[in-house]
Chains A and B, each alone.
Chain A
Amino acid sequence: MSKPRAPGFATLAAAAALACALAAPGAALAQTSYGVAMLSDYSGPYADVMPMLGRGREVVLDWWNAEVGAKLGVKLNHKNFDTRYDAAQTASLWPGIKSEMKPIAVLGLGGPDVAALSQRLPDDGIPLFMSTAGYGYAWKPDSWIINPRPTYTHEHAGAFKWLKSRRGGSQPLKVGIISSEASPAYVDIARGIERYAKDNPNEIQIVETIFTEVQPTDLSTQVRRLVRGGVEAISIQTNTAAVVATKRALQGLGAKVPVITSSHNGLPASGKAAGGLDQMEGDYEVYGMAIASDEDTPARRFYEKLKAGYKLAAPWNALTVMGMSQSLYTVRVIEHAIKKHGAQNLTGAKVRETLYAEPVTTEETFGMLPTLKFTKEAPFPIEGLKVNIATIKGGKYVTAATNVDTPAVKKW
């Protein structure tokens, strides 16, 4: 016989225990300090990249506090919240984050954060700063979710345009897409490129979109179909496993078709998974952030400075750049807001207003990001979009092109 009375006490006792455990953190905030919450994934699908991305984010905040904030009389407290890349976890953490940190900005990680918070942020008046490129589904006006990069589709469209101009001729560039239905975000990217091809038949022509698993078994027949169709580039924005499987298929076929990857499955990461950087000879990675190559750039110098002065332990790669750039443009926007509204009584809404009022220049982000001019039309800057392209040349990771213009992409 079950008696509901029993668990009542158990529940209450355990709830009390939980409450004690949860209530522990959260020291009183100094008057000129504000919270910046960081949504992280240390135990979910992106646990492999999180340590680098996370360190990049944290160290930039430390640097800003010490060198910029100190002069302005503002300190930004930051704290990681592990969401496991799970919308339910983000949703349950969010009210606590709000009351504990009273954040004026949140650093997000990916789709689940967007899913859990997109409808709530306007009510809460807190902007969510992402490091990833944008998605079609988030392309809505008056957003509280901000991407420093255009959509993944924009980024690859820029690469296609660049490749076409290098090839010359007026025929459209023949492109193959390898995607997966494992995540709706992957599907979204593929749909975006398909839409772009439909609107710009002179630019690119899609030979085929291939959907595969997150860990593809063998892609040789599919890739052969692409090669037969005369593809000049294969766009892969899913994961490194798909890049490796595609490379193996291409190697097996003896075909030399460049693969274009993105920041989260870029050349160094894919090369590592394929057994060496030389495996990726002639392939590209494309995104709207600085390239973490060996060349001496302002971004590189900034990284070296943080490494020397602020114990930045993460290696110089795209993921660290992702974390650093995310923090950088966020603190710059906050900095603008402080200069405009004063150090006191800053709110998330004020930070967001400043974002639209004043662009974040590329100098301010040490060239990590292009100059960002946000408008309320989209969650990402839709004007003056630039991407950078890296490649492997002679086994070395080098920048192939910087400040490549991206074409206009229609909303899909």
Chain B
Amino acid sequence: MIIDFVNYAINGALLGLLYALIAMGFVVIYRASKVFNFAQGELVVLGGFLQWWMVVSMGLPMIVGIPLAFVLAGVVGLLIERIFFARLVGESVFAMVMVTIGLLVLLRGVVLVAFGPQVRPFPIVFPLQPLVIGELMIPTNLLWGGVLTVLAAIGLSWFFNRTRTGLTMTAVAEDHQVALSMGISVKRSIAFAWILGCVLSTLGAVVFLSGKSLNFLASEIGFAALPVALLAGLESIGGLLLAGVIVGVIQGLATAYLDPLVGGAVGSVLPFAIMLLILLVRPTGLFGWRTIERV
């Protein structure tokens, strides 16, 4: 049925936008420090648990608890920078990336100790009732998520390309020394990037988990969002939207039409296959910065 096809495509696109939102966390940190954060999925889980803690465990009303969780997430970002990255200024990017791998193991443990391995209910932030337009049925959390993603992308694009603070962050990523010579505080920039990354992950957790359940395994979304980040190119925030939609639609259609044929989860590997193919054609993604080599 053609209407189904449209529905799968729309829902796929919205799912892709959720991936784009998660991937935005990667991009923000990358754009400000050239560090690819492998622990992004764990940050999503942490953001989710902070909200669970505030709203379900502490019993705060959502209107208070969720903003509070965002503040806490920002504090976590700051702590990560202070504890790990502040000491690594001047070390190679490679070392910093390796730290994020250590962080992945560490954060998983922290979540287990602080919140336990139990499956927890996540607050119902968006109405459970899907939006029904004729035959089309659109999940509300993804719809709102899509809107939030687009808004966040516009906001961050503007921030990075137009505002002084955003541009100085880019300057830090490009060249620590030049940034220093112009009086930019490298540490503050990187701290801000991590705070932003943590807050975005928490936002991603709201959309991802609203009304569902949560435990540490939810971190897998970090890797699911990876093809979107790479497809867009690691620097492009606007590009994430398009890449998200491409990946999401293909995944949505594959899950609907290919999975039953094959009898397996084609939808989950296809994004990686597309990513590989596109990277072979355009090595820095669709919108990533081409490397300008200086010899």
Contacts and interface: CB of A to CB of B under 8 A. Distances in A.
A and B touch in the complex (CB under 8 A): yes
A213 B268 contact: yes
A241 interface: yes
Interface stretch (B60-68, B178-186, B192-200, B213-221): B213-221
Interface residues on B, range: 35 or more
B33 interface: no
Contact of A221 (B8, B208, B263): B8
Contacts of B119: 48, 239-241, 269, 272-273
Interface in B244-295: 252, 255-256, 259-260, 263-265, 267-268
B221 to A, nearest CB: 7
Contact of A45 (B211, B217, B259, B263): B217
Given A217-B18, A220-B139, A275-B124, A211 B265 contact: yes
Nearest to B213: A273
Which of B119, B121, B137, B260 has most A Cβ within 10 Å?
A: B119
A215 B220 contact: yes
Contact of B221 (A45, A215, A273): A215
Contacts of B129: 252
Given A48-B117, A241-B212, A252-B129, A218 B141 contact: yes
Interface residues of A, number: 37
B116 interface: yes
Contact of A220 (B112, B130, B217, B221): B130
A244 B117 contact: no
A274 B142 contact: no
Nearest to A47: B117
Contact of B128 (A46, A48, A212, A248): A248
A412 to B, nearest CB: 13
B157 interface: no
A253 interface: yes
A171 B39 CA distance: 51
A253 B213 CA distance: 19
A245 B214 CA distance: 11
A49 B41 CA distance: 23
Given A47-B117, A224-B137, A252-B128, A211 B259 contact: yes
Interface in A165-210: 180-181, 208-210
Nearest to A220: B139
Given A252-B130, A273-B119, A273-B121, A221 B256 contact: yes
B137 to A, nearest CB: 6
Given A220-B11, A240-B213, A272 B141 contact: no
15 contacts: A47-B112, A48-B117, A181-B265, A181-B268, A210-B259, A211-B259, A215-B212, A218-B141, A221-B7, A221-B8, A221-B11, A245-B212, A248-B212, A252-B130, A253-B130
Given A48-B116, A215-B217, A251-B128, 13 more contacts: A211-B259, A211-B265, A215-B212, A215-B220, A218-B11, A220-B137, A221-B7, A222-B255, A241-B218, A248-B211, A272-B121, A273-B213, A275-B121
Interface of A: 43, 45-48, 180-181, 208-218, 220-222, 224-225, 239-241, 244-245, 248, 251-253, 269, 272-275
